């Protein structure tokens, strides 16, 4: 009888099939254990602390990496990189890059109209957050800035009758997950106003019904914009450049409107607008209206809705 072949199975095969996933999970547990031991033994300063809202997702990552690590050489490489990254994340979380938030603060904004000013040019440069603009200010500009550990720079100059006010916020990278940047401003109703806004992803609410706004230029990331215009100016020009956005515009029936639209994947609702060409739309009274609004949108994937009141 022919002897049965014996297959030799090396222990190295089993080691490769397991991959370094167990080591990855073990290192996380050891690192957290060292943290608690160090806290009890006084190895770390008193302000070193972990925010558990940032720690528990690491165990989900560990489980996923343990599965991935069984995929041969590629799995080993990815798991090694992830292990280094997660241990670095734990160190950053303990020593303040992620774990703690600065206290919530509210600063006052108050800009007085200069005696020779005939026009306001307001420039706002800010990151992600919320921006609210409305009329009814008792001064030229009033408002508040609510934030965590940020700074609002204010520059006020006068040049040939134009009072230029620049408001810019410092970048806030330190308190990930607890970011706050809310700028709420009231503008004077009677001053011809130009607005220039450069921002990150924002939630923007502009109720300019009572404001004599002549120009609005918005350059932003993926944002939501609610824009309510009045008829205080004879002509108002609006340009919005944005990424994936949702835009709602409200216009008074007393104005004629032209809209130029350039966007990627998009949807638009334009009641009472007539299509002139693939990018241009006009209301029937645009040519004859004594007060006009020119809207120019250059957007990524977006939705636009115009309503009349």
pLDDT tens across 194-243, in order? 999 999 888 999 999 999 999 999 999 888 999 999 999 999 999 999 88
pLDDT tens digits along 35-78: 677 666 666 555 455 555 556 666 666 666 666 555 566 666 66
Distance between CA 103 and CA 96 in Å, rounded?
14
Residues 294 and 214 reside in one and the same domain? yes
The CA-based dihedral angle spanning residues 197, 286, 228, 233, taken in that order and rounded to the nearest 10 degrees: 70
Residues 171 and 88 reside in one and the same domain? no
Secondary structure of residue 94 in the 3-state scheme = helix
Residues 200 and 77 reside in one and the same domain? no
Residues 176 and 139 reside in one and the same domain? yes
- Give the pLDDT of residue 110: 96
Residues 133 and 219 reside in one and the same domain? yes
Q: Which residue has the higher pLDDT, 172 or 111?
A: 111
In a domain? residue 241: yes
> Which of the listed residues 52, 75, 94 is the one where a domain comes to its end?
94
In a domain? residue 99: no
Residues 118 and 65 reside in one and the same domain? no
> Which of the listed residues 94, 117, 146 is the one where a domain comes to its end?
94
Residues 29 and 170 reside in one and the same domain? no
pLDDT tens digits along 110-132: 999 999 999 999 999 998 889 99
Range of the domain at 277: 104-308
Rounded to the nearest integer, the mean pLDDT of the chain is 81
> Which of the listed residues 45, 76, 94 is the one where a domain comes to its end?
94
Distance between CA 1 and CA 175 in Å, rounded?
76
Distance between CA 276 and CA 267 in Å, rounded?
18
In a domain? residue 54: yes
In a domain? residue 1: no
In a domain? residue 73: yes
Judge whether 167 and 122 are in contact, CB under 8 Å: yes
pTM score, whole prediction: 0.69
How many separate domains does the chain show? 2
As given in the structure block, the two tokens for residue 267 are: 């949807």
């Amino acid at each position: 009888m022919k002897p049965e072949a014996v297959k030799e199975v090396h222990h190295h095969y089993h080691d490769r099939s397991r991959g370094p996933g167990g080591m990855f999970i073990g290192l996380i547990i050891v690192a957290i254990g060292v943290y608690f031991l160090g806290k009890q033994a006084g190895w770390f300063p008193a302000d070193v602390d972990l925010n558990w809202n940032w720690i528990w997702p690491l165990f989900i990552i560990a489980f996923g990496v343990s599965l991935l690590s069984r995929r041969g050489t590629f799995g080993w490489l990815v798991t090694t990189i992830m292990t280094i990254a997660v241990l670095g994340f734990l160190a950053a979380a303990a020593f303040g890059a992620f774990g703690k938030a600065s206290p919530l603060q509210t600063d006052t904004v108050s800009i007085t109209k200069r005696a020779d000013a005939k026009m306001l040019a307001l420039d706002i440069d800010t990151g992600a957050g919320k921006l609210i603009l409305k009329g009814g200010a008792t001064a030229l500009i009033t408002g508040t800035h609510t934030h965590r550990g940020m700074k609002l720079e204010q520059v006020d100059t006068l040049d040939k009758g134009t009072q230029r006010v620049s408001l810019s916020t410092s970048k806030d990278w330190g308190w990930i997950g607890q970011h706050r940047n809310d700028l709420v401003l009231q503008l004077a109703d009677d001053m011809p106003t130009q607005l220039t806004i450069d921002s990150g992803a924002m939630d923007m609410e502009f109720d300019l019904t009572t404001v004599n706004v002549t120009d609005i230029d918005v350059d932003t990331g993926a944002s939501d914009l609610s824009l309510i215009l009045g008829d205080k100016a004879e002509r108002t020009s609006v340009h919005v450049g944005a990424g994936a956005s949702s835009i709602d515009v409200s216009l008074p029936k007393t104005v004629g409107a032209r809209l130029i639209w350039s966007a990627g994947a998009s949807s638009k609702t334009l009641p009472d607008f007539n299509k002139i060409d693939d990018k241009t739309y006009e209301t029937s009274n645009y040519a004859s209206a004594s007060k006009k609004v020119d809207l120019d949108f250059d957007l990524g994937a977006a939705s636009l809705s115009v309503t009349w009141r």
